[in-house]
Amino acid sequence: MQPIMTTSTEKREHLYKILVIGELGAGKTSFIKRYVHQFFSANYRATIGVDFALKVLHWDPNTIVRLQLWDIAGQERFGNMTRVYYKEAVGAFIVFDVTRSGTFDAVSKWKEDLDAKVQLPGGGPIPCILLANKCDQEKQGIVTNIEKMDEYVKVNGFSGWFETSAKENVNIEESARALVNQILLNDKLITVADIMDNEKFALESTSGQQITTMKKNCSC
């Protein structure tokens, strides 16, 4: 029997911790259930503490992305566990309910809390996408004005925003893809920065002459 020919392409696997935060009843659990299990329930059962879900994406033929989704209870805003939950996250969704403008008013507090408690290894904020959920229902407040929303996400350092409906399956995949894109981009930047750091370290630990030569060649 002929041996099976295989090509040795390098397979990459990434595991990313993603936070899903926002006010009580905004639809965080519903968003995750729709995304991971293609399921929606109209019954509301408040999350207690934190729940987890795993979504595996075959991103491209050589890349598998595992998303560890942390579904954090809206009531945690009033607790002090968020620092523990946010640790080592590389991306986040902040969810609000388009039918209750109070849930939007709290978005900036969630974002501040997030940025204060978790950063990328390089020190910058982790990418965060704003989800205007329940768009299958009548909207209330700023979310009725697209330009204002665009301005709001820009000013407040979001990577983007989407109107979503966990019920009708609107923009669930799209918003997740946008976040993963941003995370992969950051990952590449970090890798380049790491390589540069390592090279710098290697130079500093060799002779001073080599460092001088490098400085001469450097345009700065």
Half-sphere exposure in the Cβ direction for 51 (13 Å, CA): 14
Q: Which of 23, 35, 68 is nearest to 164 (CA)?
A: 35
Task: Between 44 and 201, name the residue whose CB sits nearer to Mg ion.
Answer: 44
Q: How far is the CB of 73 from ligand GTP (least distance, A)?
A: 5
Query: How many of the other CB atoms lie within 10 Å of CB of 166?
Result: 26
Let me know how many helices (H) and strands (E) the chain has, helices first: 7, 6
Which residue in the shown chain puts its C-beta closest to ligand GTP? 74
User: Is residue 77 part of the contact set for Mg ion (CB under 5 A)?
Assistant: no
Task: Between 27 and 91, name the residue whose CB sits nearer to Mg ion.
Answer: 27
Q: How far is the CB of 33 from Mg ion (least distance, A)?
A: 9
Q: Does residue 109 sit in helix, strand or coil?
A: helix
Task: Between 24 and 36, name the residue whose CB sits nearer to ligand GTP.
Answer: 24
Q: How far is the CB of 210 from Mg ion (least distance, A)?
A: 57
Which of 46-54, 85-93, 104-112, 190-198 is the region at the interface with Mg ion (rule: CB under 5 A)?
46-54
Q: How far is the CB of 29 from Mg ion (least distance, A)?
A: 3
Task: Between 1 and 48, name the residue whose CB sits nearer to Mg ion.
Answer: 48
User: Is residue 47 part of the contact set for Mg ion (CB under 5 A)?
Assistant: yes
